[in-house]
Amino acid sequence: MPNFTDVTEFLLVGLTRRQELRVLFFVVFLVVYMVTLLGNIGMIILISISLQLQSPMYFFLSHLSFVDVLFSSNVTPKMLENLLSESKTISYVGCLVQCYFFIALVLVEVFILAVMAFDRYMAICNPLLYSSKMSRVVCIRLISVPYVYGFSVSLICTLWTYGLYFCGNVKINHFYCADPPLIKIACGGVHIKEYTMIVIAGINFTYSLSVVLISYVLIVVAVLRMHSADGRRKAFSTCGSHLTAVSMFYGTLIFMYLRRPTEESVEQGKMVAVFYTSVIPMLNPMIYSLRNKDVKEAVCKIVAKANLRK
């Protein structure tokens, strides 16, 4: 029988053990985190005060920015603390809480991306019915489903994580509490947690990605039937930013969660995790603003109004 131990805290290995790199990483990720907060909060404020951004697409985009703020804030502050700390510990309860919010926010984000794809399908393939079909009430209902579903499923997943047993090794080879490295150091309750993680990740990623792919197949068919080259260009330009965000987010998550946890996959996953916990939340506001004419015009109008008041 394994010698199970009562765990009160875990030790996070982090990104590196070299002191000179830890200081460098702290500065880099602090800047990235600040840019993430400013960019996403700025996007939320811009959408809320700009009249020309009061459409379903930007309503969903504001929620994507909100989730990105929570997503990054769930991981980055603790990572920054541990980069300058010698102890690098996280309490058992704190680890479970971090796991809970991480899984919940991942699920919320993938289904918000699916909802945004459906919104683009409605706008391009059913333009005459778009305003009536995508009313404010419908948009609120659509955006409520990812939140309710994500936080509910995450509770079940976290309870399975709570069912893991440990035999003295409390060193997590990661910079936050994630399922794959926790499974790797556990000595009991591993199989049910491992298979449920892969199955739940597979079902949710497959379903949400199917909504995205079907929506875009129908969009492509509708765009190819358009006679106006300008209409085609406009339709594709509204989808380009969303497709970029989808490709980055799904690609990195599938790489990490649809594989069995091994020493090699955990180490690779740690590097990939930097991308989707820090870089993607920072890039999303840039992707949606730099490639979006409406957002750029809204920013210009606000700047112009601010200059006139001076």
Give a yes or no: residue 25 inside a domain.
Answer: yes
Give a yes or no: residue 304 inside a domain.
Answer: yes
Which range, 1-5, 39-43, 269-273, is most confident?
39-43
Give a yes or no: residue 1 inside a domain.
Answer: no
pTM for this prediction: 0.89
pLDDT beyond 70 at 241: yes
Predicted confidence band of residue 116 (pLDDT cuts 50, 70, 90): very high
Which range, 128-132, 136-140, 227-231, 232-236, is most confident?
136-140
Give a yes or no: residue 3 inside a domain.
Answer: no
Q: pLDDT higher for 306 or 65? A: 65
Q: Which of 53, 80, 78 lies closest to 65, judged by CA?
A: 53
pLDDT beyond 80 at 227: no
pLDDT beyond 80 at 109: yes
- Using a pLDDT cut of 70, give the percent of the chain over it: 91
pLDDT in tens, 173-182: 888 888 888 8
Burial (CB count within 10 angstroms: exposed 0-12, middle 13-18, buried 19+), residue 94? middle
Instruction: State the pLDDT at residue 192.
Output: 87
Give a yes or no: residue 80 inside a domain.
Answer: yes
Beta-bridge mates of residue 250: none
Domain range spanning residue 146? 9-308
Instruction: State the pLDDT at residue 1.
Output: 45
Q: Across the chain, what does the average pLDDT equal?
A: 85
> Measuring CA to CA, how many Å separate 207 from each of 31, 114, 115, 118, 156?
35, 9, 12, 13, 19
Q: What's the rounded mean pLDDT across residues 198-224? A: 88
Give a yes or no: residue 2 inside a domain.
Answer: no
Q: pLDDT higher for 198 or 252? A: 198
Instruction: State the pLDDT at residue 156.
Output: 92
Predicted confidence band of residue 95 (pLDDT cuts 50, 70, 90): very high
Give a yes or no: residue 23 inside a domain.
Answer: yes
Instruction: State the pLDDT at residue 118.
Output: 92
Q: What's the rounded mean pLDDT across residues 72-87? A: 89
CATH number for the domain that contains residue 152: 1.20.1070.10
Predicted confidence band of residue 258 (pLDDT cuts 50, 70, 90): low
Q: How many CA atoms lie within 13 A of 68 on its CB side?
A: 34
Task: Give how many domains the chain has, as a whole number.
Answer: 1
Contact 13, 172 (CB under 8 A): yes
Q: What's the rounded mean pLDDT across residues 138-146? A: 94
Predicted confidence band of residue 300 (pLDDT cuts 50, 70, 90): confident
Q: Which of 25-39, 88-102, 148-162, 167-181 is the least confident region?
A: 167-181
